[in-house]
Amino acid sequence: MSTQTQPAKASGTFSLSGRLPVTRLGFGSMQLTGPGVWGDPKDPDEAVRVLRRAVELGVDFIDTADSYGPVVAEPLIRKALHPYPADLVIATKAGLTRSGPNDWRPVGRPEYLRQQAEMSLRHLGLERIPLFQLHRIDPKVPLEEQVGELKLLQDEGKIAHIGLSEVDVDQLEAARSVTAIASVQNLYNLANRSAEKLLERAEAEGIAFIPWFPLATGELAKPGGPLAELAERHGASASQLALAWLLRRSPVMLPIPGTSSVAHLEDNIAAAGLELTDAEFAELTDAVG
């Protein structure tokens, strides 16, 4: 397939742990649920169409979590895409519980993480989860016990690779003292680069960096702002430029923009073919102090 028929492929590839290749521009499934990441989507049929269209466009890396819904996004992925294409990599997460819309509470007890891994295997229809991520570190449970349970699941063949979400450099290194870490997933975008030190460490160690909330552009996208002006010059959307900037920022970057609309999905995926010049990249980088 060419980048014309599968435009996501223009973003290039990255190999998780040096062994599992994925197309760098992926898809995040959080927005396929109801308001507040709670309950079923407003249009379940469109959610299925979005997932199928993403794969048609060359996406082979889909990020999800047991807590999206909860237990909504994973079954949707199975409904839309099972039996899965051979090259599709599904990354899921456990470690956050839900008590209502927009409410997230960390639980990292080993027995809970094991239960949720088993449930994700069932809900996704998988024999092994390609990438299983600790959704949050539970401050009430030693980090070594949380990551250690994921290592046991890996040793048992139930998960292939282990990732972390919302960690700092010290936590990453503490986890790496227990087992190999394939990925980190933190809030990061053009307008919010608070995880810069983690990104630099991930790049140095060949660890995938998955930026969640990749499209936040804030004041930059307002009329007259640098993002709006550059988007006009490129004949592109502000979202496409924000994604192009992320892809250019680091070779370990795996953006996973999510949406519940096929039209918005297609707009996002087109960012893979957008090339920024050195000057344009610097202009956007410098737009946020």
Please list, in sequence order, all residues whose beta carbon lies within 8 angstroms of the beta carbon of residue 174, skipping any fewer than 6 positions away.
Answer: 143, 144
Q: Which among 102, 96, 81 is positioned nearest to 146, based on CA atoms?
A: 96
Count CB atoms within 10 A of the CB of residue 218: 13
Q: Which among 86, 156, 164, 108 is positioned nearest to 128, based on CA atoms?
A: 156
DSSP string, 178-190: TS---EEEEE-BT
Question: Which whole-number Å values give the CA distances from 143 to 79, 112, 205, in the listed order?
Answer: 34, 14, 20
Q: Is 84 a catalytic residue?
A: no
Does residue 249 contact residue 276 with C-beta atoms inside 8 Å? no
Give the start-end residues of each E strand in the chain.
13-16, 20-23, 27-28, 61-63, 89-94, 96-98, 104-106, 129-134, 159-165, 183-187, 208-212
Does residue 3 contact residue 221 with C-beta atoms inside 8 Å? no
Instruction: Return d(Cα 73, Cα 92) in angstroms, integer.
Output: 10
Q: Which among 50, 118, 116, 35 is positioned nearest to 81, based on CA atoms?
A: 50
Indicate which residues carry an active-site annotation.
Answer: 68
